Amino acid sequence: MEIIDGKELAKAIRENLKEEIIELKKKNIFPKLAVIMVGDDKASAVYVRNKSKACNELGVEYEEFLLNETTTMDELLSLIDKLNNDKNVDGILLQSPIPRHLDINEAFRRIDPKKDVDGFNPVNVGKLSLNQDCFVSCTPYGIIKMLERYNIPVEGAHAVIIGRSNIVGKPLLQCLLNQNATVTICHSKTRNLEEVTKQADILIAAIGKPEFVTENMVKEGATVIDVGINRMEDGKIVGDVKFNEVSEKASYITPVPGGVGPMTVAMLMSNVVKAASSRE
């Protein structure tokens, strides 16, 4: 069994990006990410801090827009418009969740697809499903990079994803399909889940339930990717996979923390650099 070291791989990716950023700066392009947060969700604050740290480390300019809980849709859209029109801003990220009275889909639609570094605008979602060049949402993109780096064959493999969210499960389905995997997607209504997951050569858990995937759900020698980030009462972070027992059976497995999480941030940086490289 080999542990997939997301932290180390993310570091290597950031090192490569540093070189690219130096080259861009020689051409007077200073990559910039704008992050919008509405309200004061605690988990979001942690994620946003990680993103700002990554920008600082790489020399990517970073600006945060903190809107209060009572912000109107018009105010949010006019901020997005302003950032869309700002030639110095390459990437716009709207941190979810946002308060319920706001329509997040409308907000994602409003972000210029060329600045949509999270890959949530329907133009990028559509392009991904057509296997065209686009911004791929960062978590699935990071998972694909991990499989690539560890030479885990995807073509022809049976990949089973547990979770069908718009930010992880669905775009990951497209990514894997684009790489010629046979993909099954499971969710809360799936019958006989264990029967399905046991067929997986590559099993991805994106559920949000601590230690949900147990040893009996995994085929001997499978690759197991744990997307889950579950904060326990004692403050400990636990994945969706019962690491101790599943790692006995898997050939490759990602830890939590130190697996998918750091890769997500690295791929965000990669998307910002991609956006900056295609400035008009």
So which residues are the catalytic ones? 51, 95, 118
| Chain-centre distance for alpha carbon 204 | 13
By CB atoms closer than 10 A (0-12, 13-18, 19+), residue 68 is exposed
Report 127-156 residues binding ligand NAD (CB under 6 A).
139
- The conformational region for residue 196 under phi > 0 = left, psi -120 to 50 = alpha, else beta, is alpha
Task: Give me the residue whose beta carbon is nearest to ligand NAD.
Answer: 165
206 binds ligand NAD (CB under 6 A): yes
Closest to ligand NAD by CB, 96 or 277: 96
| Binding residue for ligand NAD, selected from 169, 197, 204, 218, defined by CB under 6 A | 169
Give the integer Cα–Cα distance in Å for 173 and 184. 8
Q: Which amino acid is at 187?
A: H
Instruction: Give how many residues touch ligand NAD by CB under 6 A.
Output: 24
Alpha carbons within 13 angstroms on the beta-carbon side of residue 130 total: 10
Closest to ligand NAD by CB, 49 or 82: 49
> Which residues have a Cβ under 8 Å from the Cβ of 148 and sit 6 or more positions away?
none
Q: Which amino acid is at 150?
A: Y
164 binds ligand NAD (CB under 6 A): yes
Report 260-279 residues binding ligand NAD (CB under 6 A).
260-261, 264
193 binds ligand NAD (CB under 6 A): yes
229 binds ligand NAD (CB under 6 A): yes
Cα-based angle 112, 56, 86 (whole degrees, multiple of 5): 25
161 binds ligand NAD (CB under 6 A): no
183 binds ligand NAD (CB under 6 A): no
228 binds ligand NAD (CB under 6 A): yes
- Could you tell me where the DSSP H helices lie in 179-259? 193-197, 243-246
To ligand NAD, the closest distance from the beta carbon of 106 in angstroms equals 19
Residues within the interface to ligand NAD (CB under 6 A): 139, 162-165, 167-169, 186-188, 190, 193, 206-209, 227-230, 260-261, 264
